[in-house]
């Protein structure tokens, strides 16, 4: 973490509102892009990004610097996403997923870019597997770190990643 960010964190923890706003703004795009990939739903990603900002504002005093500030935000956002998902009913969950993937597909197509089979298959993975695959193979976290983000043992993360990749492989073979 650079000195500027550390200074902003120190000021934010002492109750400096503009410093907190600056700090969160600095990380907004990173967080939003993580949430796009985790949820595959731009409007949900935006809602969760705002909720994460609010939760970070409430908990900034608890941030102890043992992980990067961006990892701390990813942890908050992932837990909020998991909590929210638990509250949804199965039917509306399917509809939401379809709508989310359609919004991303539209963004690709509106720029004359080809939509991807891999992303389509990724959007159909169950949340725990999708987030585990994403954090492991795109963000490069260890199984232990992902376990602490998702509040599950590292063995569970390992099996989710492996099942997720297996499912992706299977879907891509079916599409071929």
Which residues here bind another protein, judged by CB under 8 A? 17-18, 20-22, 24-26, 28-29, 32-33, 36-37, 42, 50, 53-54, 57-58, 86, 104, 107-108, 111, 113, 116, 118-119, 122, 126-128, 133-134, 137-138, 165, 168-169, 172
CB of 168 to another protein, least distance (A): 6
Structure tokens at 142: 């260890």
Radius of gyration of the chain (CA): 17
Short-list 123, 138, 129, 125, CA closest to 157 = 129
Q: Which is nearer to another protein, 95 or 108 (CB)?
A: 108
Q: Which is nearer to another protein, 24 or 146 (CB)?
A: 24
Q: Which is nearer to another protein, 66 or 173 (CB)?
A: 173
Q: Which is nearer to another protein, 27 or 145 (CB)?
A: 27
CB of 69 to another protein, least distance (A): 15
């Amino acid at each position: 973490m650079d000195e500027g960010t550390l200074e902003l964190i120190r000021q934010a923890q002492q109750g400096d509102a503009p410093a907190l706003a600056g700090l969160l703004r600095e990380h907004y795009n990173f967080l939003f892009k993580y949430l796009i990939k985790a949820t595959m739903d731009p409007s949900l990603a935006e809602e969760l990004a705002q909720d994460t900002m609010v939760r970070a504002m409430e908990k900034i005093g608890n941030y102890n610097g043992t992980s990067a500030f961006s990892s701390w935000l990813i942890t908050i956002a992932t837990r909020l996403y998991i909590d929210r998902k638990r509250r949804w009913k199965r039917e509306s969950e399917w509809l939401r997923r379809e709508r989310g993937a359609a919004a991303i597909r539209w963004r690709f197509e509106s720029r004359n870019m080809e939509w991807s089979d891999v992303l389509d298959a990724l959007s159909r993975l169950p949340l725990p597997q999708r987030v585990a695959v994403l954090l492991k193979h795109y963000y490069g976290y260890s199984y232990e770190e992902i376990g602490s983000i998702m509040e599950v043992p590292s063995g569970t993360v390992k099996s989710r990643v492996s099942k997720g990749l297996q499912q992706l492989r299977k879907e891509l073979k079916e599409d071929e």
